[in-house]
Structure 1
Amino acid sequence: MAKPKNEPVKLTKTFIDKVQPAAEGYEHYWDIGLKGYGLRVTAAGKRVFIAQGRVRGKAVCATLGPYGEWTEYEAREKARKVLQGMRDGIDPRDAKRQDEAAKVTLRQVADAYMARPGKLKDSSKGEIERHVATTFEAWQNKPITSITEDDCRERYQKILMEGLRGKAPAPGQANQAFAVLRALINFAGRRYKRGDGTPLISHNPVAALKDDWVELKPRTTDIDEKKVGAVWHMLTEARANAYNRDTLASIDLIMLLLLTGARIGELSALTWDRVNLEEAWWHIPDPKNSNPVWLPLSKQAVELLKTRQRVEGSQYVFTSWGKSGHLKDPRDMMKKVSDAAGRKITPHDLRRTFVTLGVTVCGIDLYKMELLTNHVPKGVTAKHYLKTSRLQYLLPEVQRIADWIDAQGKLAAAVVNGDNVVALRA
């Protein structure tokens, strides 16, 4: 029969096997030979080894481990070390917290980083998830502290020279992937602490890429001013002869991108409830820079949207059969745009074309073009005194660009149809 809980006992395997569960709560049994080494027995019969001492004058009780996972001999030896550490001023709870922090994986850090409410857009979360699950697949379930400078250099160089699939160099992907990793490791350094309160990570291994980092030249591709008419004429003709709904949606999306200078993600997911054709504006509630904006629509854009085919049961302006419910990538039609432009053109190049035409051809102030592309000007006066959300007052500027594009398209049509040829007298 067990002795009263306050009377020291000799903790042995035999004693532990025979000790009865506590009547309620738990009871402690302290070893007669090693002061501070004990056993906690719960009412459910669970037996756990403990060590109790003082650290810098404060009483500390540490759990060593459950009986069954630990033998009495293993628990006693661990208790000796823990109790000696307490006498040396080491709190075993801090060590435990430090061990737990050191085990935090890249996947856990990424999940915590993405779970912060209101901090990231779904598109940003998608990019982070893609790189964690694909680019850094081999690292995602390892402790984030195990990622070394050499690991970063090796992986960066591999993507830089071979890409993610080992087919072609991908400097853009390499930079993007390690920018994501750098942010996650910095976050881990702020969020997770060691037992003594110091950051889990004091040095970011991605910093070692400073001498290897490839600076990419900013993209400046757009449709040459002399080719805008040919592109617009091609799109107008294609629209008149579109043979199915998705083709027409692709054409209309591209034409509207050129007329508005919008990002493709902002326009492709446009819903009818964010369009007002009577007042000639459309709305982006959650753009990239988090500045909700109401943008003006030219007469050409309004006419295009008025003649858009609305699909029953769909909220989207550019409805598609895909899972998202809306068109995402008008790839085939963009190839035809590239052919007409005489160079490879991407949807974002249409945005650059809109800005270039506005500034260089139509003489519109750059700060107005920044507003129309939802880049809030950085100047103090512009930031604090200009209207940066309700931009219907910039309708004349949008109309000027649309009229110029339309005029160029008509000139191109005249050349194609021979309307600019005058017969000479015999």
Structure 2
Amino acid sequence: MAHLKLSKKVVDSINPPALKEDGKPSQEFYRDTELTGFGLKVTNTGNKTYIVETRINGKPKRMTLGKHGHLTAEQARKQAQILLGEIAQGNDPVADKREKKIQAVTLRDCYKEYLITRRDLKPNTLEDYKRCIEGSLEDWLDKPVTAISKDMVEKRHRKLGIRSHARANNTMRVLRALLNFAMERYEDKNGNGIIQINPVNRLSSTRGWYEVKRRQTLLTPTQLKPWYEATLKLNQEVTRDYLHFLLFTGLRRSEATGLKWDDVDFDEKSFIIPDTKNKEPHRLPMSDFLEDLLKRRYRQAEKIWVFPSPITDGPLKEPRTAIARVISYSSIQFTLHDLRRTFITIAESLDIPAYALKRLLNHKFSNDVTAGYIVPNTERLRAPMQQITNYIMEKIKE
């Protein structure tokens, strides 16, 4: 550790230190003889940085002023003198700098960190978040989260609601989740959250949320035949089989597209969905229709996916073009989730027991002590599964 009167000439003459014996980077420090606490750090790569070293609240602190070349020795010494004077008056520039950085956290920063933290979010949820934040709130991304006010939330919610009530509500729910995350994640120097009240709460206190009725659309018994016949006109067999699979299993779209051949057991005549909405693996028996469909697909299998994409090496994406064609051929409006609702409605109409129905849909038994003692048995679902298949096939053949 050397002590020198730091000047441009002196700093320019200092050679970088050699690497350590083990080959690791090294650095040397030079303290100024004119101003106590002012110094220079030199690394083996040749970087020369002016620093301030002192104690703040009894703890040693080292602060960077800037690189030699960007600052002269005299400029750096003056900055160091000002900084040391502030510390002598009881200020903490390190904490102040951290405070400014925290207060400047933007919605984009919060969004990125939230996604890193929530690694369990499913692809569909991530896509929904992207539509809400990057689509509906794109002009807010570089605003500090502390600058998002109740009035801003209310006005944007109203504006989005002109086009879609559901989209407006969903966007604000996602924003509320991000700001709740920010309230816990980012604290000021006193340990308080930089956001004390979530501005999205105004929509609840003023009853500003739009009333969005849950979709109740499904395929009626008389629509099953024309819908099925329309699917047979599709060019892509994988898409046709995928639509049939959704109808005959009641699975969610992502559960079906994520199905791999390793998840299918032809000996047991069953298949398992390992990654589900409620985090519980979901095993279902094959009805005769499903067994024929899966065996036919297996004979043609070239990839690990039961429903592979015709374009990429990954699984099938939502077949929007195929859905539009089926709607055009049949004149029946439907969504993929309508097929799940159709399956559920048929199951209920056949008086399938409540426990079997919940197992078929992989719904959790909330507040039911008895359900906790029941061990799921796939074989007990085989008859109800076949019963639903028989009903659909009867309507298709009418």
TM-score (norm 1): 0.76
Q: Distance in 1 between matches of 2:233 and 2:217?
A: 30
Q: How does 1:44-193 map to 2 (within 5 A)?
A: 48-70=49-71, 75=76, 78-79=79-80, 81-116=82-117, 118-161=119-162, 169-193=163-187
Counterpart secondary structure, 2:117: coil
Report deviation, 1:203: 3.0
Give the direction of change, closer, same or farther, for the CA distance of 1:219–1:337 in structure 2 (3 Å limit).
farther
Aligned to 2:34: 31
Aligned to 2:384: 397
Q: Distance in 1 between matches of 2:307 and 2:106?
A: 41
Contact residue 160 and residue 171 of structure 1 kept, 8 A: yes
Q: Distance in 1 between matches of 2:359 and 2:51?
A: 66
Contact residue 21 and residue 41 of structure 1 kept, 8 A: no
Q: Distance in 1 between matches of 2:361 and 2:281?
A: 12
Aligned to 1:416: none
Q: Alignment partner for residue 332 of structure 1, among 324, 329, 339?
A: 324
Give the direction of change, closer, same or farther, for the CA distance of 1:28–1:352 in structure 2 (3 Å limit).
same
Report deviation, 1:40: 2.0
Question: For residue 217 of structure 1, what is the amino acid of its counterpart?
Answer: K
Give the direction of change, closer, same or farther, for the CA distance of 1:26–1:37 in structure 2 (3 Å limit).
closer
Give the direction of change, closer, same or farther, for the CA distance of 1:30–1:139 in structure 2 (3 Å limit).
farther
- The worse-fitting range, judged by mean Cα deviation, of 361-370 and 38-47 is 38-47
Give the direction of change, closer, same or farther, for the CA distance of 1:71–1:206 in structure 2 (3 Å limit).
farther
Counterpart secondary structure, 2:256: helix
Is residue 2:197 matched to residue 1:203?
Answer: yes
Report deviation, 1:321: 2.4
Contact residue 8 and residue 72 of structure 2 kept, 8 A: no
Aligned to 2:353: 365
Q: Distance in 2 between matches of 1:351 and 1:244?
A: 21
Report deviation, 1:37: 5.1
Give the direction of change, closer, same or farther, for the CA distance of 1:28–1:295 in structure 2 (3 Å limit).
same
Report deviation, 1:377: 1.4
Counterpart secondary structure, 1:115: helix
Contact residue 217 and residue 338 of structure 2 kept, 8 A: yes
Report deviation, 1:52: 4.3
Question: For residue 394 of structure 1, what is the amino acid of its counterpart?
Answer: L
- Residues 51-86 of structure 1 show CA distances to partners (whole Å, capped at 9, x for unaligned) of 444433444443333344446676556445533443
Report deviation, 1:394: 1.3
Give the direction of change, closer, same or farther, for the CA distance of 1:198–1:237 in structure 2 (3 Å limit).
closer
- The worse-fitting range, judged by mean Cα deviation, of 316-325 and 67-76 is 67-76
Give the direction of change, closer, same or farther, for the CA distance of 1:312–1:75 in structure 2 (3 Å limit).
same
Aligned to 2:213: 217
Counterpart secondary structure, 1:26: strand
Q: Distance in 2 between matches of 1:105 and 1:30?
A: 42
Aligned to 2:22: none
Aligned to 1:286: 275
Question: For residue 357 of structure 2, what is the amino acid of its counterpart?
Answer: M
Give the direction of change, closer, same or farther, for the CA distance of 1:26–1:380 in structure 2 (3 Å limit).
same
Report deviation, 1:257: 2.1
Q: Alignment partner for residue 384 of structure 1, among 365, 372, 397?
A: 372
Question: For residue 373 of structure 1, what is the amino acid of its counterpart?
Answer: L
- Residues 267-320 of structure 1 show CA distances to partners (whole Å, capped at 9, x for unaligned) of 234333322344332211111221111112222322343444854523333344
Give the direction of change, closer, same or farther, for the CA distance of 1:292–1:208 in structure 2 (3 Å limit).
same
Q: Distance in 1 between matches of 2:271 and 2:368?
A: 27
Report deviation, 1:396: 1.6
Question: For residue 219 of structure 1, what is the amino acid of its counterpart?
Answer: R
Q: Distance in 1 between matches of 2:265 and 2:57?
A: 71
Is the radius of gyration larger for structure 1 or structure 2? 1
Report deviation, 1:153: 2.8
Q: Distance in 1 between matches of 2:318 and 2:300?
A: 17
Is residue 2:286 matched to residue 1:297?
Answer: yes
Q: Distance in 2 between matches of 1:17 and 1:149?
A: 57
Contact residue 187 and residue 194 of structure 2 kept, 8 A: yes
- Residues 387-408 of structure 1 show CA distances to partners (whole Å, capped at 9, x for unaligned) of 35x5332112222222223333
Q: How does 1:301-320 map to 2 (within 5 A)?
A: 301-308=290-297, 310-320=299-309
Give the direction of change, closer, same or farther, for the CA distance of 1:72–1:27 in structure 2 (3 Å limit).
closer
Q: Distance in 2 between matches of 1:153 and 1:74?
A: 49
Give the direction of change, closer, same or farther, for the CA distance of 1:48–1:325 in structure 2 (3 Å limit).
closer
Report deviation, 1:333: 5.0
Q: Distance in 1 between matches of 2:242 and 2:342?
A: 15
Contact residue 234 and residue 240 of structure 2 kept, 8 A: no
Question: For residue 21 of structure 1, what is the amino acid of its counterpart?
Answer: I
Contact residue 2 and residue 29 of structure 2 kept, 8 A: no
- The worse-fitting range, judged by mean Cα deviation, of 16-25 and 291-300 is 16-25
Report deviation, 1:236: 5.2
Give the direction of change, closer, same or farther, for the CA distance of 1:235–1:49 in structure 2 (3 Å limit).
closer
Give the direction of change, closer, same or farther, for the CA distance of 1:99–1:372 in structure 2 (3 Å limit).
same
Give the direction of change, closer, same or farther, for the CA distance of 1:337–1:276 in structure 2 (3 Å limit).
farther
Counterpart secondary structure, 2:140: coil
Contact residue 55 and residue 61 of structure 2 kept, 8 A: yes
TM-score (norm 2): 0.81
Report deviation, 1:93: 1.6
Identical amino acids, percent of aligned pairs: 30
Give me the CA root mean square deviation.
3.3
Q: Distance in 1 between matches of 2:82 and 2:383?
A: 80
Contact residue 280 and residue 296 of structure 1 kept, 8 A: yes
Give the direction of change, closer, same or farther, for the CA distance of 1:143–1:31 in structure 2 (3 Å limit).
farther
